Amino acid sequence: MNDTSLVNLLLSGPRSFKPEWIAEGSKQVVPLACHSRMDERLADRLTAGAGQAGHTYVVASRWSDVGSDRAEIEIPSTRERMLQFPWRDESFLVALPDLAGALLVTTEGYSLIAGTGAFLRYGIPEGVDQAIVDFKRYAKRVGRSHPTVVEVSMAFQPHQVAWASKSDVAAGSATAEQVSLMESLVADRISAEAFARSWLSARRRALEQCERLREPFSWILDQVFYALDDYVIDPGLRDADDMTNEQLHALVREYLGELDVLDRRTVS
């Protein structure tokens, strides 16, 4: 970094990042709940983001220290040291040394984490959309005592809406593949064993990609997962009382029928 202070480089005020810094490297900003201090959840996010980039320390500064002789301090990027953070009840900024990611903690009941896609994949493991949805729920709970939190929540919208039925699902998504595999099994276009392997793989990808579903769509697919949890894929390892291919076929047919009913109800 050069002689320009960390705060002046990254912030446009005690509650927001500079748009020009965000634009560099296509960074994203994500709102998070906080209590005007470095709590465990924020520490975990920051240490994960720093760790993936190989940084052993972070740089921090208080808004009130701008222009002082000691505007920045270096802190080891370990969870233990993060939890010993020296400041609370005041706005402060923590950033990676290369400025690829940063955390702004405010005194208004929220914080903002921002950075490149690589930084946020570790700092926001649940996915940006899910973090935004979680923050909106938080804003509803604390809105009366923290009206600014409500204003902040309105400025962020998830890129992907939660799908309510199979007709909502984006083509090419992992969720679309799960539904397609169910249809293939019921139509006898795929074996039970191949269905189980492929469906579980698609389920993992849906979770990794943070594809979001509404109830009861989510509940129905969960039941398929629970059924497969009881199904032994290798025929040579099945016991007499294990779920049979025919039983799995019947269960998937039942849940696919529920998806069809839900789809008609949603469309109408």
Residue 71 structure tokens? 């505007």
User: Do 129 and 190 have their domain in common?
Assistant: no
Question: Same domain, yes or no, for 79 and 187?
Answer: no
* Res 71: pLDDT: 74
Residue 125 placed within a domain = yes
* pLDDT category of residue 208 using cuts at 50, 70 and 90: confident
Residues 216 and 94 in one domain: no
Q: Based on the domain organization, do 149 and 46 belong to the same domain? A: yes
pLDDT tens digits for range 136-193: 999 999 988 899 999 999 999 877 778 889 988 888 889 999 999 999 999 999 999 9
Domain edge (last residue) among 154, 180, 206: 154
User: Is 161 inside a domain boundary?
Assistant: no
> In terms of domains, do 136 and 25 share one?
yes
Percent of the chain whose pLDDT exceeds 90: 68
Say yes or no: 69 and 32 in one domain: yes
123 and 203 assigned to the same domain: no
Q: Nearest CA to 253 among 181, 194, 147?
A: 181
List, for residues 76-91, the tens digit of each pLDDT value: 999 999 999 989 899 9
Residue 159 falls inside a structural domain = no
Task: List C-alpha distances in Å: 46 to 15, 141, 166, 211, 216.
Answer: 18, 25, 36, 24, 35
pLDDT at 74: 94
**What pLDDT does 128 receive?**
86
Single out the residue of 268, 262, 255 nearest to residue 164, CA to CA.
262
Residue 39 belongs to some domain of the structure: yes
pLDDT per position as a tens digit, 211-253: 888 889 999 999 999 999 999 999 999 998 999 999 999 999 9
- Domain holding 202: CATH number? 1.20.120
Phi and psi, residue 62, nearest 5°: -90, 150
Number of domains in the chain: 2
Domain limits for position 180 = 166-267
Q: Would you say the C-alpha torsion 141, 145, 149, 154 has a positive or negative sign? A: positive
pLDDT tens digits, one per residue of 88-126: 899 999 999 999 999 999 999 999 999 999 999 999 998
Predicted TM-score of the model (pTM) = 0.62
Residue 138 lies in a domain: yes
Q: Is the residue at 45 inside a domain?
A: yes
Instruction: Answer whether residue 123 is part of any domain.
Output: yes
pLDDT at 3 over 50: no
Residue 131 shares a structural domain with residue 179? no
At 239 the pLDDT is 92
Exposed / middle / buried, residue 267 (Cβ in 10 Å: 0-12, 13-18, 19+): exposed
SS3 6: helix
- Among 154, 179, 200, residue at a domain's last position: 154
| Residue 54 domain-assigned (yes or no) | yes
Same domain for 183 and 146, yes or no, is no
Report CA torsion sign: 86, 92, 94, 97: negative
> What mean pLDDT is predicted for residues 261-267?
80
CA distance linking residue 102 with residue 64, whole number of Å: 18
34, 58: one domain: yes
**Which one of 154, 187, 220 terminates a domain?**
154
Predicted local distance difference test score (pLDDT) of residue 67: 63
Q: Quick check: 20 pLDDT over 70? A: yes
The whole-angstrom separation of Cα 190 and Cα 262 is 24
Q: Are the beta carbons of 174 and 203 closer than 8 angstroms?
A: yes
> Residue 225: what pLDDT?
96
